[in-house]
Each structure stands twice: as C-alpha cells, then as structure tokens.
Structure 1
C-alpha cells in the first residue's frame, strides 16, 4: 500500500515519533496496513512481512504509547477549518473482539444490531478526517458530540444531521464562534427557517469519508479486543487518507 513516495513521507514522521528505523520497518508497516485492509487475524499475516508476533507486539506497543494517534495528527496538516462536518457510524463488533483481559471499558455496546461500536467523526471542508471518537454502540450522537467539538479549533460553520438536534449543542458550537447548520427534527418547535440548506448539501463529505474508511475490513468490522488497538487502526486509516496530500 506504500509506494516509494508515500513511504518517504511517512518514514520521516515515524522517526519523529521515536520509532526505531530498523531494516524491516517498512515491511512491518506494510504488514500492519495489510491487516487493516483484509481484516485477517495477526497470526495469518503472510510471511513476506516478517514474524506476525513481532509485528503485533510492535503495533501493540505503539498503540499503548498513542503513537499512531500522534502520527495521524502529524499527517493531518493544514486542514480547511472554514467548514466542519460531523456524523457517527455503527461498526459491527466481531465475536473475536469480546473477552479482553482488562477491567477497563473496551467500547463495545449493545444496540439493535447486537454488539457494536460507534465511530464519531469530524471532517474538514475537503472531507478529510480531523478528529474522531470511539464509543460503544449504545452511545448516541448528541452524547459524544460535546467532547468531539471541544477538541476542534474554531471554524465558520459546523454541519451535522438531525441526530444532533439539540439546543445546548447548538450553543456550544456558537460559543466556539461557528454557525450551527443542523436541521430540526419533525417535532422541533424552532423549525428550520434559518437553515442554510446550500451548505447542508455538502454534508455528504463526512459520509464519503466513512465510505473510504470502511473499505478496509479491519475498520468496517472490529476484530481488536482492546479499544486502544481499534482506535489506532482507525487513526492509521485516517492518516492514510492524508498521506497523498503531504508535500
């Protein structure tokens, strides 16, 4: 998945994150990307990438130290903050993702589809991911939105669907200096008289971002037991979308 040009860009960021430049580093990263694309168990990685256990241990260690999230942030340079679009999407949790040997919550919840998680995603004016949050599938959009919005810098407008129809959420967006472009529900008392429907049409950018992320099987279905490891997989996928834009 990495041609020479993309690898030269990514290698610099890996070294900035204090990742050792070992001889097999590129093949190790390729193995992680291969697993993200096909969703196979770690032990089924082709031998061409090296020992699967070594690749998993490196991935897990970098995930524990949040290096993949930092790499995503380093790749997401110069986003278009004029407009922001936000949405959430369900992801089915595979049966192999259950049973983590940890007392911490692993963000697997119950919903109509069974065991699910939810990715809450914000994209910029170009449709590239800038922030995301992983929660259990039982967490609705309005509950996860405040933390996501708080991590975003100021913008001119924030657009979301009617699942985010909440006055206190609109107030939070307004306090950050942005205009809330969120339609009211059918039973809304305020109505949609002040809606900017022209801008709202561009909300498909966040849906397109989900479609691009979910082309990778390890994102479309969660196989990782630990929340932080699945979070790292999403960060890798988001960073991979930014990689061609790097100078």
Structure 2
C-alpha cells in the first residue's frame, strides 16, 4: 500500500479540511487519513468500490462517506489548501478527452447533464485545465466530449491573474484575444491557418506548453481519471481534485 500513503506534509495541509475532526460538532470521523488513502486506492486502480481491500474498512461505508464529502465540497477545499504556491508568470490551457465506462452512464437527467457527450471516441468527458508556470493545476472544468474547448474558457480564466496565456490553435478566438489584450496579457496562441491576417506569437515560449501535456499524463496515471466510472460530474470532479492535490503537493 506504499503507493497510497500520504506524506506527513501532504496530510498536514489536508487534515484541517476533513469532516469529522474532533473539534467539529457532531460525530467524529474514524481515521480520516485512512479514508483518504482508500479513495486514492480507488483512484489509482480504477476498481469498483466493492473491490476495496478490507484493510480500508467496509466498502459501502467508505463509499457513503465519500459521497458525503463530495456533497460538502471537501475535496475542492483540500485541493485549494495544497495549491497555495502557484507560479502565475504565465499559464497554459488545454483540454483532454477521457472515455466514459458504461458504469459511469445512466445518471438521473441524462448524460449531457453530467458533462458526458458522444464524440468520435464514443461516450466521453473533456477535462479543460489551466496550469501554472510550474505545470501544476490551477483550475479545471468538465465538458461533454463533443464540445469545443473554447466553450468553458471564460469561467476557467476568470479571477486568475497571469502575464501570458499559452494555448494551441483551438483557442485562437477573437473574443479571447481581445479579452487578454484588454488585461495586458500576452497571448501565446498560434493563429489558425484560415485567418486572413497571420499574427505573430512567441514560438520559443510556446514550446513550454508541453508542461500541460505532461500534467495530463500524470493525472491519467490514476485509472479512475483515465476512464471515467463516476456517474455524476460532482463525484468525478471530486476525484480529480483529490488526485490533483497529491500531484501538486509532491
């Protein structure tokens, strides 16, 4: 189980945001650190909750606790807590597609309401991410797989101050270029070939964009992220937030 052990420094940042601490009102949780490791085991292996090893506790109890934490937004708070040392000299934006397992389909309201759509790869979800100059995740948005990357760009970059934004041709949109220019942000985005006027961009700086591709590779080492098995976007977002917390605090 060494692969799922949290370091003391990671746990120190996470522990104060867990539910059921001895200082909280109501019932105290049993071994929050073991519970986090149980969720990480599910994330790393991609296994169904029923296959959770017994040393982590009863699988249905762990799952119910996970859903309680999802509803309370605990994993987002944990991600914010460990993500306190970001480098915003520049930021990078990109999207990645993940296949949706059949166990991840069938939520109430239909798949589209859970950021699931049908694209060339079948039923998919797109993770649109913003990472900092060190290649660590700042924010992300979930989208149905067939949606264009630019749809969720505005809320993704909102309230984030950076000096330059690196992105591929998918982000060569007039509204985005204008918004970046109004904020005195350098757009390191190559122009689409069908533009009548080809604008210049910093080709050397653009090479740094590999950092966001590297981040997606790290994130997809967690099989529960590489293939989505969560029916609801809230559960999938929580799983991403926890995995990103571990990656960012290494």
Q: List gaps (5 residues or longer) in structure 1.
A: none
Pick closer, same or farther for the CA change 1:81–1:217 going to 2, 3 Å.
same
Q: Secondary structure at the match of 2:162?
A: coil
Corresponding residue of 1:74: 81
Are the aligned partners of 1:63 and 1:228 in contact in 2 as well (CA < 8 Å)?
Answer: yes
1:16 is displaced (CA, Å) by 10
Q: List gaps (5 residues or longer) in structure 2.
A: none
Q: Secondary structure at the match of 1:133?
A: strand
Could you list the per-position Cα deviations for residues 97-151 of structure 1 after superposition, in whole angstroms to 9, with x for gaps in the alignment?
A: 111134681111010011000000000000000000001001111112122122x
Q: Secondary structure at the match of 1:110?
A: strand
Normalised to the residue count of structure 1, the TM-score between the two structures is 0.92
Are the aligned partners of 2:165 and 2:187 in contact in 1 as well (CA < 8 Å)?
Answer: yes
Could you list the per-position Cα deviations for residues 202-223 of structure 1 after superposition, in whole angstroms to 9, with x for gaps in the alignment?
A: 0001111101000000000000
Match of 2:140 among 88, 107, 132: 132
Corresponding residue of 2:36: 29
Q: How do residues 1-247 of structure 1 correspond to structure 2 at under 5 angstroms?
A: 1=4, 2-14=6-18, 22-102=29-109, 105-150=113-158, 152-192=159-199, 194-244=200-250
Range with bigger deviation, 118-127 or 99-108: 99-108
Are the aligned partners of 1:131 and 1:148 in contact in 2 as well (CA < 8 Å)?
Answer: yes
1:179 is displaced (CA, Å) by 1.0
Cα distance in structure 1, aligned partners of 2:145 and 2:93: 17
Pick closer, same or farther for the CA change 1:226–1:15 going to 2, 3 Å.
closer
1:15 is displaced (CA, Å) by 6.3
Q: Secondary structure at the match of 2:113?
A: coil
Are the aligned partners of 1:154 and 1:177 in contact in 2 as well (CA < 8 Å)?
Answer: no
Are the aligned partners of 2:100 and 2:227 in contact in 1 as well (CA < 8 Å)?
Answer: yes
Q: Secondary structure at the match of 1:14?
A: coil
Q: Secondary structure at the match of 2:61?
A: helix
Are the aligned partners of 1:108 and 1:116 in contact in 2 as well (CA < 8 Å)?
Answer: yes
Pick closer, same or farther for the CA change 1:209–1:21 going to 2, 3 Å.
farther
Are the aligned partners of 1:68 and 1:235 in contact in 2 as well (CA < 8 Å)?
Answer: yes
